[in-house]
Amino acid sequence: MRLFLDTANIDHIREIARLGILSGVTTNPTLMAREEGVEYRDRVIEICEVVQGPVSAECLSRDVPGLVEEARAIASWHPHVVVKIPVDEAGLEATSRLSKEGIKINMTLIFSANQALLAALAGATYASPFVGRIDDAGQDGMEVVREAVAIFDRYHLPAQVLAASLRHPRHVVEAAKAGTPIATVPYAVMKAMIKHPLTDVGIERFLADARRYTRLPAEG
């Protein structure tokens, strides 16, 4: 399983990349809007250079010719760029055309296993169910992930399920148990995955014990 970071904050990306656990990044217009004074193209290229892995950048056009033209332009920014396109009729048609050109597509805003299947059949590289938003609508977001993974595995579809809109560390565990190849998580969730109070207590206890027989400096 691979972990992506769902952010456009370059400082957060650099921090997590240094840990050796980051395989890619997903962005969207909402995340980019939080980065004041940053050109979209420049930030995507900057992220690609840090991550050296897939970086999703989203199209804004809503008709097929516009999506195709915009996707081609975005894909040209960097070899690691993956173009994000929402799953609807225009998105499926554009994805079908673009995938035949070798452009990698992350089909986004997926809320059902049916949509995930259609994304895969259209040629998307990644299909992104939005777990948290499905939960918000009173349904089981992780069940959509489980169904999509089972369908893709059963029929050996080349697309990969990318679990998105994950709200807490337990979501990541459930996605991993479901066999999801990739989960994209916000910075706060990634940090929460690292931390555990018992780890902190254990480190402090080890250091206190070590000071009894070494010259480790006291805190402060």
pLDDT by residue (tens digit) across 20-52?
999 999 998 889 889 988 899 999 999 999 999
Asked whether residue 130 is assigned to any structural domain, the reply reads yes
Separation in Å, CA 69 to CA 6, 95, 120: 25, 12, 21
User: Is residue 208 domain-resident?
Assistant: no
205 inside domain: no
**Residue 148 maps to a domain:** yes
In a domain, residue 213? The reply is no
| Domain region containing 27 | 2-194
Cα–Cα distance, 41 to 83 (Å, whole number): 12
Closest C-alpha among 13, 34, 10 to residue 22: 13
Structural domain count, the chain: 1
Residue 91 maps to a domain: yes
| 84 catalytically annotated | yes
Structure-block tokens of residue 176: 């991993």
- Torsion sign, CA atoms 42, 90, 92, 31: positive
For 162-176, what is the mean pLDDT?
A: 97
> Could you give the C-alpha distances from 195 to 189, 192, 199, 200, in angstroms and in order?
10, 5, 7, 8
- pLDDT given at position 123: 98
CATH code assigned at 15:
3.20.20.70
Kindly state whether residue 206 falls inside one of the protein's structural domains.
no
* Residues shown for the chain: 220
* pLDDT higher than threshold 60 for residue 118: yes
In a domain, 63, yes or no: yes
Q: Using a cut of 0.85, tell me whether the model's pTM lies above it.
A: yes
Please pick, among 84, 104, 191, 195, the residue that the annotation labels catalytic.
84
